[in-house]
Structure 1
Amino acid sequence: MAAIAAAAAAFTTLRISKPTVFPRRRFCTLVTSSLSSEFNITFAPPKPKSIAQLPITPATDLDPPESSSSEFGEQLLIPWIVRDENGNLTFQTTPPERYLRAMAEAKTQRKKKKVSAGNAKKGEQAMPSTVPPKYSKAARRFYNERFREPPQRLAKVLAAAGVASRRSSEELIFQGKVTVNGSVCTTPQTKVDPGQDVIYVNGRRLAKKLPPKVYLALNKPKGYICSTGEKETKSVVSLFDDYMMSWNKRYAGLPKPRLFTVGRLDVATTGLIIVTNDGEFAQKISHPSSNLSKEYIATIDGEVNKKHLLAISEGTVIEGTHCTPDVVEQLPQQPDSKRPRLRIAVHEGRNHEVRELVKNAGLQIHALKRVRIGGFRLPSDLTLGKHMELSAANLRALGWKS
């Protein structure tokens, strides 16, 4: 033991030129110098294995101070390497002053317990869940409170449910054939909610769910009228019989919509027409205030010259209003037909406007076809009598932003 103590005393002084991570040792005394980054560190006699692991340099002339276990006891000292005001590295046996001040001023808070919406007590705020429930009562309640449509007028609800048109629904209400929550209602403006109120029409319960909005584009053939009357045998709506028969396969559990046309084309006119069950959409598109341009291709019987084109472009008076077309242009002659064709674009939307313009110029129309409404053009591959569902981009082209 005496030999080991003598060897340890000869190698207890270390010279350090850069910051070094020191292993923990007991009974250590630090002698620091504020003018240099060199330190004299003395240790109590450690174990022999630990001495072999230390990077040791020859001892200096400074004698290490005496230390004993009675002075330090069993305390473990951890050196702090800090930088002084001059930028030099120094050792301290206590933490830096700024560290102690930051620890003293730090505010500690207790972690809040996550409270679910179902177990939230009074005064506790429920934490939103990352994945909302899909079919739970809480999810349905959340949807009903924030996203359910507000109550609507009774006549509008009946028309949206497919009972009848808006005017026919008002007549049913005036006749006392509609009951709301067990009471006869004779006011079409009564606000109702189909999901909450019990509505009967002619003794039949109205479905709680309204049909979804449907937007279709049809290539109308000749001989069909734009009317939803039941007495009409060749109505445009009758072209959607197959579509309505397959409704339950595509939209199981939802009531069938009542389709009607947006605007009208006369019985002899073919081409693009929009069919929907959205009354607000139909009013927006068909009203003259929308200023939607509508393009027609008119096939003319006889010859067409510049005088005819000028007469059409000057316009004519229709229903007390002078209407002028936006574009009048003669198209190249087709190889399979000798009749001239005119491209006419209007925005007024008056009844028989294109036919009146051509008639006023002294010409006779052989065939008339509408090919464009707004920014939506009739697809070339959509044959007569066929329809297609309108996408969101198609609706925006028609000027519908909802």
Structure 2
Amino acid sequence: MERLQKVVAHAGVASRRKAEQMILDGKVRVNGKVVKELGTKVSNSDTVEVEGIALEKEQKVYFLFYKPRGVLSAVSDDKNRKVVTDFFPEIEERIYPVGRLDYDTSGLLILTNDGEFANLMTHPKFQIDKTYIARVKGVPDRDKLKKLERGIKLEDGMTAPARVKMQSADPKQNKSIIQITIHEGRNRQVRRMFEAIGHPVQKLRREQFAFLTLHGLNAGDARELTAHEVKKLRVMAETGKQH
């Protein structure tokens, strides 16, 4: 189920704000009835008409994208910065990123036009694993890494337990490379976790999302997910089983 104004906007009829106004003005019908209430939810089986014309149902598409640093996880930007959808000029469907990667973070991002799938992938209760490689300042000792593993108290509450692995340590250069796997998706979470133990992140890349990896892709590259991959991700989210 998706909000009516979102469905209208995704069909390319109007912006989200204009779609809301069209609903308030009585220009939108669902299954033949005028709907004026914002937030009304509709499903794929509902027929939505705008000014008497039925919306075309978009084919669902799913992409795996290697987001470069310095690109926004958004579909537009009022400051004219590069956004992830700039890398998909040939795609007619109105795709959007599933969750976010920070402007300065690179790595694996999924884009789709399937709202139900996006919710499955991002809602914390579905616990999809996300693995990051972080280059951090200094060399954290075992006790500090244990804190990350147990959960760190941040301003928005305790983080869930994480899996942490030191990949390399360079005391001379005062830096370390650490792999961390979490299943939450709070704003700048990995960066804040490392800041909390006194080892700020200098560079961050998301290497893996569930079983998906960046294998064969360079920054800025994308590929379509296979039907099997999409189905497997759905099953993992719905059952809570990661493998």
TM-score, structure 2 as length reference: 0.79
1:157 alignment partner in structure 2: 7
TM-aligned CA deviation for residue 332 of structure 1: 3.9
Q: Pick from 215, 218, 239: which aligns with 2:65?
A: 218
Amino acid at match of 1:349: G
Q: CA deviation at 1:323?
A: 0.9
How many percent of aligned residue pairs carry the same amino acid? 31
Check conservation: 1:176, 1:184, Cα contact below 8 A: no
The residue identity in structure 2 corresponding to 1:161 is A
Between Structure 1 and Structure 2, whose CA radius of gyration is higher?
1
Q: Which runs of structure 2 are paired with 1:71-220 in the superposition (5 Å)?
A: 154-163=4-13, 168=17, 171-176=20-25, 178-180=27-29, 185-188=35-38, 189=40, 198-200=49-51, 208-220=55-67
* Counterpart secondary structure, 2:234: coil
The answer for the alignment partner of 1:261 in structure 2 is 97
Q: Which amino acid is 2:25 matched to?
A: G
Aligned length: 232
Q: Contact 2:131 / 2:181 at 8 angstroms: preserved in 1?
A: yes
- 1:1-47 deviation digits (Å, cap 9, x = unpaired): xxxxxxxxxxxxxxxxxxxxxxxxxxxxxxxxxxxxxxxxxxxxxxx
Q: Name the counterpart of 2:233.
A: 398
In 1: Cα distance, 2:9 partner to 2:157 partner:
32
Q: Return the alpha-carbon distance in structure 2 between the equivalents of residues 376 and 389 of structure 1.
A: 12
Letter in 1 for 2:21: L
What is the identity, as a one-letter code, of the residue corresponding to 1:173? M
Q: Which runs of 5+ in 1 are unaligned?
A: 1-150, 245-255
Is 1:366 aligned with 2:202? yes
Q: Report the Cα distance in structure 2 between the residues aligned to 1:344 and 1:171, rounded to whole angstroms.
A: 41
Task: State whether residues 376 and 397 of structure 1, in contact with CA within 8 Å, keep that contact through their aligned partners in structure 2.
Answer: no
More strand by share: 2
Please, what is the CA RMSD of the aligned residues?
A: 3.4
Distance 1:375 1:190 in 2: 32
Instruction: Give yes or no for contact 1:173–1:185 (8 Å, CA) kept in 2.
Output: no
Secondary structure of the structure 1 residue equivalent to 2:75? coil
The letter for the 2-side match of 1:389 is: E
Aligned-partner SS, 2:88: helix
Q: What is the alpha-carbon distance in structure 1 between the residues aligned to residue 99 and residue 114 of structure 2?
A: 13
Check 1:232–1:184 CA distance in 2 against 1; reply closer, same or farther (3 A cut): farther
- Match 1:228 to one of 75, 90, 93: 75
CA drift at 1:338: 8.4
The residue number in structure 2 matching 1:293 is 129
Instruction: Report SS of the residue matched to 2:231.
Output: helix
Once residues 163 and 23 of structure 2 are traced to their aligned partners in structure 1, the CA distance between those partners, rounded to angstroms, is 47
- Pick from 326, 332, 348: which aligns with 2:162? 326
| Distance (whole Å) between structure 2 residues aligned to residue 266 and residue 154 of structure 1 | 29
Relative contact order, CA 8 A, sep 6+: which one is greater?
2
For residue 195 of structure 1, report the CA deviation from its aligned partner: 9.8
1:66-103 Cα deviation digits (max 9, x unpaired): xxxxxxxxxxxxxxxxxxxxxxxxxxxxxxxxxxxxxx
Note the C-alpha offset of 1:197: 6.4
Tell me how far 1:187 sits from its aligned partner.
3.0
Query: How far off its partner does 1:240 sit?
Result: 1.1
> Is the Cα–Cα contact under 8 Å of residues 173 and 187 in structure 1 kept in the other structure?
no
- C-alpha separation in 2, matches of 1:346 and 1:152: 27
Q: Distance in 1 between matches of 2:49 and 2:120?
A: 31
**Matched residue, 1:348:** 184
